[in-house]
Structure formats: C-alpha cells, structure tokens
Amino acid sequence: MANFVLVHGAWHGGWCWQRVTTALQQQGHRAFAVTLTGLGERAHLLSPAITLDTHIDDVMNLIEAEELQDVILAVHSYAGMIGTAVADRMGKARIKHLVYVDAVIPKPGESWSSTQASVTQQQRMAAAQASPNFSFPSPDPEVFGLKDADHAWVKRRQTPHPGNTYQAPLSFDVQRVAAIARTFVNCTQPALATIEPSRLRAKDPKFWDGAWLPNSKIVEIKTGHDPMISEPAALTQILLNCVA
C-alpha cells in the first residue's frame, strides 16, 4: 500500500482529483487530495492573508496529521511551487517521489509569476488589486482543453485564486529536492503556454546547475492541462508506476 498526496493547481480544489483518488483507492492505496486554503470548499477562507507559505503548510500539515511516510506527492500547475518546497522541507525521509503534473518547476528565488509573460503578470495583479479579497479570477476551462460535461463541471467549480501566492519568491536547496525521484508529466494537446518554460527546464541538462536531469524522467500525455479530469486513467497509471 502506497501513500499518495495530490495537490491541485490554481482555481481548483481537491474535487478535481476525484477520478484519480477513486482509482488509486480501488488499487488498495491511500490517496489524499488536499484543498488549499481559500479554494474549493475552503473558498470561504479567501483573504489577503493567504500566502505561498499558507499553502505549503496545508500540504505539510496533512502529511504530518496522517503520519505519512514514503509519500508520492503529485502537484499540478501552480502547485509545482508547493511540491518543490515540501520536498525541500520534508526531504527524502518523507517524500519518495515528486510528480510535477504539467506543473511549474522553479529555480531558487523565483515566484510562480517569474516565468510568465509580463502582460499576464500585470493582468493578474491588477485583477487582485481590484478585488475585495486580493484574488484573481479563473480562466475559461477551454484553455485546459476541456469540453462538454468536463468543461461545465470545472467552470462551475473553479474559484478565485489568492493573489499573495503569485509573486512570493521561494527559497530551497536544489540538492535536497534533486535527491528525490521526480517525474514531469507533460500535457501536450493542447499545451498550456504558461507551462512551456517548465517543459523546457525538464529536459535541460543544465537546469538546477545540472542537478535536475539525474533521478528524473518525463512522461507525455496527449491531453490538456487538467489530465486528472481529461485522462484520469493515464495519469493514475503514471502515479502507480512511481510506487516501485
């Protein structure tokens, strides 16, 4: 029996992992889908006080409260920032495998916004400043390649994202994170433009001063940015392959 912790990206909640958590549990594993503070069913907590560290603590506290060891930690999109931090702070002793699901792979000192176009940064911060709780609204799920019932489901469930997570820099020890086995899940049809810098980093032998490529691999799914919704069986199998 393996321990899976699944962390959603911006605007989502633990709800988006339903199909994957069910499949993992049917295989006899423990699977926990975190909902980050201020999002999903915790949207009533949305406030300017939420920071990147709040979300990092959300994940670390779940791991501690459930007394999990050998965690396979899957982080989606924005949560690549969180997974990197958790791997650094908890280390190889607690985290067995880190799975970046079409996720941000930061450099030390970068924020989530660092690899995004300046116009995107300006739009999101302007929206946050104009909102009563310093948040920015969700995009139409069509940008994630979702259609029909899946599109409608995500559109009605998405919630605004806490703005003070966007430009917060993350400090971490590259070697501590690189000591943990890592998989980058590259979602290619359609490929979300804001993840392109991370796609390039995942195959760059010079990234993290050469520490990234050893002990890491890339797996491709021909689907959009929300594979836990559009291709749950394929994503579940990738996660199961991390158990061995």
Question: Is it the case that residue 78 has pLDDT exceeding 90?
Answer: yes
The stretch 210-237 carries a mean pLDDT of 98
Residue 49 has pLDDT above 90, yes or no: yes
Which of 47, 77, 114, 198 is labelled catalytic? 77
Q: Is residue 201 within 8 Å of residue 234, measured between CB atoms? A: no
Residue 127 has pLDDT above 90, yes or no: yes
Quickly state the pLDDT bin for 81 (edges 50, 70, 90).
Answer: very high
Per-residue pLDDT tens for 189-204? 999 999 999 999 999 9
Confidence band, pLDDT 50/70/90 cuts, at residue 230: very high
As a whole number, mean pLDDT of residues 21-33 equals: 98
Q: Tens digit of pLDDT for each residue in 98-125?
A: 999 999 999 999 999 999 999 999 999 9
Name the residue ranges covered by the structural domains of the chain.
Answer: 3-240
Cis previous bond, 190, omega within 30: yes
Three-state SS string over the chain comes to CCEEEEECCCCCCHHHHHHHHHHHHHCCCEEEEECCCCCHHHHHHCCCCCCHHHHHHHHHHHHHHCCCCCEEEEEEHHHHHHHHHHHHHHCCCCEEEEEEECCCCCCCCCCHHHHCCHHHHHHHHHHHHHCCCCEECCCCHHHHCCCHHHHHHHHHHCCCEEHHHCCCCCCCCHHHHHCCEEEEEEECCCCCHHHHHHHHHHCCCCHHHHCCCCCEEEEEECCCCCHHHHCHHHHHHHHHCCCC
Is 77 annotated as catalytic? yes
Confidence of residue 63 (pLDDT cuts 50, 70, 90): very high
**Distance of alpha carbon 195 from alpha carbon 197, whole angstroms:** 6
CATH code for the structural domain at 3-240: 3.40.50.1820
* pLDDT above 90 for 244: no
